Amino acid sequence: MNYKRLDIPELILCEPKLHKDNRGYVFEAFKKESFNSFVGFEVDFCQDNISYSKYGVIRGLHTNTLNYAQSKLVSVLKGKILDVAVDFRLGSPSFGKVVSIELNSEENKQLFIPRGFLHGFLVLSQDAIVNIKIDRYFAHGESIGVRYDDKDLNIDWKIEKENIILGDGDKDLKSFKDVKSPFLYENNLYKMIAKEQIIC
């Protein structure tokens, strides 16, 4: 697996090495030791969530309260999506900055989104199956959401607004400026890995 830091360096694009032959291909989708070594802290994924969505569906923008904040590793099992992360850490030099990237089931790239970020995605293909690894279990009543079409964030979702499909919960979300973030940039949300613990 190759790892690449994006414009916000805490966001990491994971690019697998495909081993191809006449039968198809095989690749390592996740390897805990090398992943944690690259990010520099311990991420203990505990659950995989899989969603099926049709073209134009947006799920987001979501995060959780501080005590239930989740890391996410997003991959696409079928189709193509626009995956979006927004820095939601108060005091961060990139607070409110948006990073979006296409993920698809042909390239099999993954996006790592750490705690302290809003996340959402839009389906760009006829349909899509998305897998999201998380490191904390879902807790009812602990979700935080921001409107997908927030004017300050000004996210380019790549399709016409009339083609966008939202769930009922996402229709009533507040604007970015009206949602108080529980995250502070200077606070460490992870257990750091000592150099002697790093396994390459």
Q: What is the CATH number of the domain that holds 102?
A: 2.60.120.10
Q: What's the mean pLDDT in 27-56?
A: 95
Q: Which two three-digit tokens encode residue 127?
A: 């349909």
Domain-located, residue 23 = no
- Confidence band of 192 (pLDDT split at 50, 70, 90): low
- Confidence band of 196 (pLDDT split at 50, 70, 90): very low
Q: What's the mean pLDDT in 84-108?
A: 97
Strand locations in 6-156 (E): 12-15, 19-21, 24-26, 47-54, 57-64, 72-78, 80-87, 89-90, 98-104, 110-113, 117-123, 127-134, 143-145
Domain-located, residue 172 = yes
pLDDT computed for residue 198 by the predictor: 38
pLDDT computed for residue 191 by the predictor: 74
- How far is residue 130's CA from residue 74's CA, in Å, rounded to a whole number? 7
Higher pLDDT, 199 or 9: 9
- Would you say 118 and 86 are in contact if contact means Cβ atoms under 8 Å apart? yes
DSSP designation for 178: G
* CB proximity list for 156: less than 8 A, separation 6 or greater: 100
Q: What's the mean pLDDT in 53-80?
A: 97
Domain-located, residue 194 = no
- How far is residue 30's CA from residue 8's CA, in Å, rounded to a whole number? 22
- Would you say 38 and 13 are in contact if contact means Cβ atoms under 8 Å apart? no
Domain-located, residue 15 = no
Domain-located, residue 167 = yes
- Whether residue 14 has pLDDT greater than 70: yes
Domain-located, residue 28 = no
Structural domain count of the chain: 1
Domain that holds residue 58: 44-184
- Confidence band of 29 (pLDDT split at 50, 70, 90): very high
- Confidence band of 194 (pLDDT split at 50, 70, 90): very low
- Whether residue 200 has pLDDT greater than 80: no
pTM of the entire predicted model: 0.92
Domain-located, residue 25 = no
- Confidence band of 199 (pLDDT split at 50, 70, 90): very low
Q: Report percent pLDDT > 90 for the chain.
A: 90
Q: What's the mean pLDDT in 103-122?
A: 97
- Whether residue 193 has pLDDT greater than 70: no
Mean residue pLDDT of the chain comes to 94
- Whether residue 195 has pLDDT greater than 60: no
